[in-house]
Structure 1
Amino acid sequence: MTTLVACSHGTRSPVGRQVVAAIVEAVRAELPDVDVRPAFVDVEEPEIGGVVAGVTGPLVVVPLLLSRGYHTKVDIARAVGTRADAVQTAPLGPHPLMSEVLVARLAETLGPEGLRPGDHLVLAAAGSSEAVAAVDVEATAADLRRHVSVPVSVGFAAGATPRIADAVTQARSDGAARVVCLSYVLAPGHFADVVRAAGADLTTAPLGADPRIARIVADRFAAALRESGRV
């Protein structure tokens, strides 16, 4: 039996920790016959290297991260590289289901009125010094544009430009009557706070423990099993 290691960043936010724990539980419900273990790259324990070392038998590490970046390239890759029977999947995004989650959070924020002419959406991501992270966020934005009828731009809390506040300002300069930040972070914590402080008219909640997040994890796991010849 192949173990699934769900590896998230880690946060000091108690609510953020609860959300990540709920996501792991949702993955267990989605894959009841699979041993699902949490791990973290920073702040929290158990640390990814120790979890990988402690698993008996083959394992698949699914990053509970929204794009490729330093943690997928270095921290997780280093841990996975210590074992020939370990595989690392792509992160949660981009994925077709991610736009559905974002649209659901948007609907919760807008209420029955929904989007209106003059609205502009800023997909507000954490950001990374790794350029590939911005590529992944842009891919998510491109998919999101197929689901909404208003402009979508991107902004980053750190590590890349434009910064979220600058993206909000640019949207207004371009004529937006209302700017909505889509909080493209998994759970409450530092980056969610940065998104909320960016000056948008409205800001959605983080993605949270949406059932579709667990489905993305299950999809990544199944794809890894197929590609490794374990199914």
Structure 2
Amino acid sequence: MFVITADQIDSRHDRDRATEMIAELVGRHAAAFTLPPDQTSGDEIQLLVPIAADAFTVLLDLHRTGFWSIGVGIGRIRTPLPATTRQATGDAFIAARAAVTRAKRSEARFALETPAVATADATPSGPTAQADGDSPDTSTTAEVEALVSMLLLLRQRRTAEGWEAVDLLESGLAQTAIARELGISTAAVSQRVKSAQWKVERAAHPALVRLLQNLDRDTSE
């Protein structure tokens, strides 16, 4: 199970964005959440998501806004589930709390934790060593965090023009239709998409989701 805890950046000098962010996420991903998303402590939101692909998509949406430090915890959840996310407990919630604390100091404003890492050291100073007996194709939490962070930083550097082209492309429009929509040449659209590194990003998504699935599997066994 995936718990996403997001803390609003510099909330003392900004309006409370939690309510509208929750509404946006529910509007886009209502079926993704095991329990309704909650605003927990003031400017913080908490989300409970059972499926890796959904957790990854929600993470990307949250991060794109630029307003949140995001911690993702992966692990078991105590059952039976309560009525609200804020009442739920379990290893994944403890891990998410440790993760969001580290995320505030991360360049990508993101961190990932699993119970083994979170309980051993809530603020690790370096990559977690691979445990003895792990198979060569098993990735550690720190390795997955590093790869997801690279993707988030790539997206963070995308220009407004790049996002405009990418959003239209992902809506299903061909580049010729995008050119008409934006009033620019097809070559200009192609250049925007190339500069946005959209193909590189999209190619990485399945592998990253699979790595998150593997961590979820390993923490649930």
Question: What TM-score, normalized by structure 2, do the two folds share?
Answer: 0.33
Say which structure is richer in helix: 2
Q: Give the structure with the larger strand fraction.
A: 1
Asked which structure has the greater RCO (Cα within 8 Å, sep 6+), the reply is 1
